[in-house]
Structure 1
């Protein structure tokens, strides 16, 4: 062996001393040799970006699993004393086959024991309602379990008609029936709320009373269903997948029936149960517009690929769509060219600026190359597809608060954008990178709490196991050289080289974090809204990703093209202030205002002017929602 230089020996001794001072478990002989004389995995101090394909510019996985911690007083076995464990990949949530809750038969038997109370309708008596209860014998009314219980509980405590006066359907009922019949304008299915109205030709008193009591119960059951659907959606999104995380909205069903019994403004009450935000109204307008419009007769081959100089009979179709949708700005710049060359099948140089402008207007890169994404953006989807997307968006918006709040941050994953909205004004809009299809960003809302400057990156267990562990088994000292810290359950530093990585498969009892640096996976700052999915917004060293049209490229977190601008917005300060804080090193700052953040997923969404835009369904979630809605419809179809 060559003799070591004095400086090398001193450095080696210092490394060994540091290891002993940290109190690490005993290292293996090979590991100690590598520490002293250098391993083959890279040079000390080398950043991940300098080592080719083994960098870890990921971010926290969409649903990070908790690490298994070692209890105080316990330590993992020394390296080399255990057999090498098989690496078990940590996977994210899966999608489930949606199972709708079955309907139940309403049990009216307890109503005969209801206490005597004054009825609600003038001239209507407890006795008349009680006499009518006999008409419920043998009546099979199906309803959701919660609605069935509330129905019986309400009428047991309040034995009187809501929807009937004398022997006739009253005005309150007529308003309710009208609203239920207009459910399609909200993207709901009117058949879910159908109630058979008693015919006026029945003159037999006993038969009429039976009809009216059954109508009373049926309408109350369907009104409860309508209110529940309007304010919370028809499905439970959390049953689709663990990627969805929405709290159920409180719904006091008995209180709702009581309110309806005391109001003459039935329609107003029922309509108020829907979300009361401009976005919901814009989607409703779009839905009605689409239904009233004619189908787009211009169909462009969705697989069209065309470069300047090439020829295709599909080109005039695409140009006619651009000409049809010209605004004043594009019309002034390119109207004459389109009028002259609109029927050309040759993609000449004069048309390239037209295509580039149309691409940019559609939110694309604007490279002048016509491909499937350009065709989809300019030709759009079919009327049926757009109607479905709007209906899905209406359903998804019902999972959210009725008032979205101001200020707020709205991230729309299919659009790859994040916006800061205050007072109805979009004050910041920036491009984003979201999770890959295999590492999807979850769908939920939360509240922004903190901004971290020059942050540490705590490596999630999923990335540590799935991506780092194979290399660590070959090169245990990799983390030390790459700027990561390894700590045990008590927070004590452990040299990476001292850990027997081969002993662990999927549960590693160490915490790993990357120190603040230019190579840090989180970049220069992160914006936290603590949630069980370990998702947040942050900067990234991979700036080139923002130039791509398809930006589902991360491990689950939301990367921002303008992180400083977003941090300044949520802190109500300036970008210069953010720059000063970054210059001071690692620190954290609390957000003192209530700012909700929506990590949303809408393939149809209105801009601030109310114009609805359409986006690709990058995760295939619209189809999952369609299947869930079909499951609910199948359960409801035999209801009466």
Structure 2
């Protein structure tokens, strides 16, 4: 031993684990291989947890850009319109003498032709579509629309008046303002140039209005990835042709606004709100106030004042002693809790005594300014969807947590719905209903597999097998969830299908209604019935959970509810095709007409989409103002 140590070598005694590993490799290689595979799978599962699928997001809105469009292409006539030269005239006269045919009459220049030279150096800063339409229209119709005898026409005055009243449709009149031409003291050439500029600016203003009225000022798909709405195509040349020939400019212009019942009601509500006196007493409760029993808040005095102002006479009479005894203390005691619960019940809220966002809204309502803003945003959103919503349709308003089926000659079927959580927002889009499925499987979306199931599988590899899910390869072969490389699935290196068997615990309940779309959103039943009792119902992964799924299925199929119940009772997973054209609008409106009556209901902005739309409109207006100032 001394010799070994003296030579510089050492003897390393293996650890117990290393010795066992060596023993396994030498004498039980199969068991060692299985252990190594289990370690590898565990490492992959832990790695898979780190992979996440990003949700759609809000974007930094980029408004429609205005471009400087030169009108010089209109400064000369098209080839077919070019006047004959002197040489051409001599030749024509010679031919006429030889053939005894009268020479062609010399072309007469119109007032527009005389003004063409002014277009050579004229450029307008407009939306690209407007610039293209101006050139296309005046090439085919080389004549004035708003000028006559070197002066402004009555039609131009009507147009200016109509554009100035655009605020009643939620638009901004300054976007379409064109000053009258200042021609006093100008020579003929300068006067002609000023009148030609006025002509072109008036047509550009009218076409900008037509675009805004028809498709909206904002492109929703640039606001967020939660919007999926094709922008309407607008034939601006045809619009200017109609304006040039109509005797009623105002009717023709405003006819480009949505011509449907809900837009008319929003327009009437906007007019009513703007006419109201907004100086009435307004009680303000600080935003973000959240008060539970036994806690204190300086906002309590405002809460009690709001109940004194807005509570019913019956409520105030029943709690008169509490109201009389309150002296402005901050402590939220039992008597005041009872008062708030009574108010909540009267307002249709859950009477839990907790003063939060919805109770505050019911207490103070909304100012006229807030209501006006919501109506104007609703008018903008109305331009994003088809003007004709259809005779039979399903309209889902996410902000109202409602879905309504309407059809000619039938009473509307309206019901409560649950929509996506703020982290799993329901998209804003429209489609067509195609299929009703009974006793559905739930095909688990990739995002839920990665974000929610993979972490559970990291702790329990057999979780899906025991929880009633079927795991299959793309070819349809069933496999154990413990045998899947979930990291490869999460990293999109391997495809796997996961679905939940039909049954009571199935996330889709007994029936689902499909309108195939790339967002994997549909309407369906749910075993979580208790959520329909809540006022704010944003709990799903994005799909629409229906309070009365059998009723909705029966409505879109044109069958009875008993028929749907019988199909479900058969216990088979079956699909039935929906006949007819039934569009579905998965929309978002914080102001919308009541189902019964002509009033407008106002809703909370659960996803903050009003805020983002307001930002988009502000950027649009800033871009346009900058263009106006640039000249």
- TM-score, length basis structure 1: 0.80
Contact 2:315/2:342, CA 8 A, preserved across alignment: no
Contact 2:74/2:119, CA 8 A, preserved across alignment: no
Contact 1:84/1:503, CA 8 A, preserved across alignment: no
Matched residue count: 557
| Cα offset, 1:232, TM superposition | 0.5
Contact 2:399/2:588, CA 8 A, preserved across alignment: yes
For residue 247 of structure 2, give the secondary structure of its aligned residue in structure 1.
coil
Instruction: Name the counterpart of 1:598.
Output: 585
RMSD: 3.2
1:457/1:31 CA distance change after superposition, 3 Å: farther
Instruction: Name the counterpart of 1:257.
Output: 240
Unaligned runs of 5+ in 2: 1-32, 83-107
| Cα offset, 1:81, TM superposition | 11
For residue 244 of structure 1, give the secondary structure of its aligned residue in structure 2.
coil
- 1:476-513 alpha-carbon deviations (Å, 9 max, x no partner): 32222222111212222223233233444332411111
1:342/1:614 CA distance change after superposition, 3 Å: farther
For residue 56 of structure 2, give the secondary structure of its aligned residue in structure 1.
coil
For residue 202 of structure 2, give the secondary structure of its aligned residue in structure 1.
helix
- TM-score, length basis structure 2: 0.81
Instruction: Name the counterpart of 1:172.
Output: 155
- 1:307-341 alpha-carbon deviations (Å, 9 max, x no partner): 69999533552234435xx6xxxx7x658658998
Task: Tell me how far apart the structure 1 counterparts of residues 320 and 206 of structure 2 sit (CA, whole Å).
Answer: 55
1:267 equivalent to 2:250? Answer: yes
- 1:384-437 alpha-carbon deviations (Å, 9 max, x no partner): 222211111111111111122222211111111111223497622211111111
Instruction: Name the counterpart of 1:525.
Output: 511
The structure 2 residue matched to 1:162, chosen from 145, 157, 175, is 145
Task: Tell me how far apart the structure 2 counterparts of residues 419 and 29 of structure 1 sit (CA, whole Å).
Answer: 57
The structure 2 residue matched to 1:95, chosen from 43, 49, 58, is 58
Instruction: Name the counterpart of 2:391.
Output: 406
Q: Which has the higher helix share?
A: 2
- 1:39-92 alpha-carbon deviations (Å, 9 max, x no partner): xxxxxxxxxxxxxxxxxxxxxxxxxxxxxxxxxxxxxxx979989744310012
1:626 equivalent to 2:614? Answer: yes
Instruction: Name the counterpart of 2:548.
Output: 562
1:460/1:419 CA distance change after superposition, 3 Å: same
* Greater RCO (CA < 8 Å, at least 6 residues apart): 1
Instruction: Name the counterpart of 1:238.
Output: 221
1:263/1:338 CA distance change after superposition, 3 Å: farther
Mean Cα deviation higher: 489-498 or 438-447: 489-498
1:205/1:361 CA distance change after superposition, 3 Å: farther
1:574 equivalent to 2:560? Answer: yes
Instruction: Name the counterpart of 2:441.
Output: 456
1:452/1:202 CA distance change after superposition, 3 Å: farther
For residue 551 of structure 2, give the secondary structure of its aligned residue in structure 1.
helix
For residue 575 of structure 2, give the secondary structure of its aligned residue in structure 1.
strand
Instruction: Name the counterpart of 2:404.
Output: 419
For residue 395 of structure 1, give the secondary structure of its aligned residue in structure 2.
helix
The structure 2 residue matched to 1:197, chosen from 173, 180, 183, is 180
The structure 1 residue matched to 2:305, chosen from 299, 317, 322, is 317
Contact 2:75/2:118, CA 8 A, preserved across alignment: no
Contact 2:45/2:454, CA 8 A, preserved across alignment: no
Contact 1:419/1:426, CA 8 A, preserved across alignment: no
Aligned counterparts, 1:16-165, within 5 A:
29=34, 85-86=47-48, 87-115=50-78, 127-165=110-148
Contact 2:397/2:587, CA 8 A, preserved across alignment: yes
Unaligned runs of 5+ in 1: 1-27, 34-77, 119-124
Task: Tell me how far apart the structure 2 counterparts of residues 501 and 315 of structure 1 sit (CA, whole Å).
Answer: 53
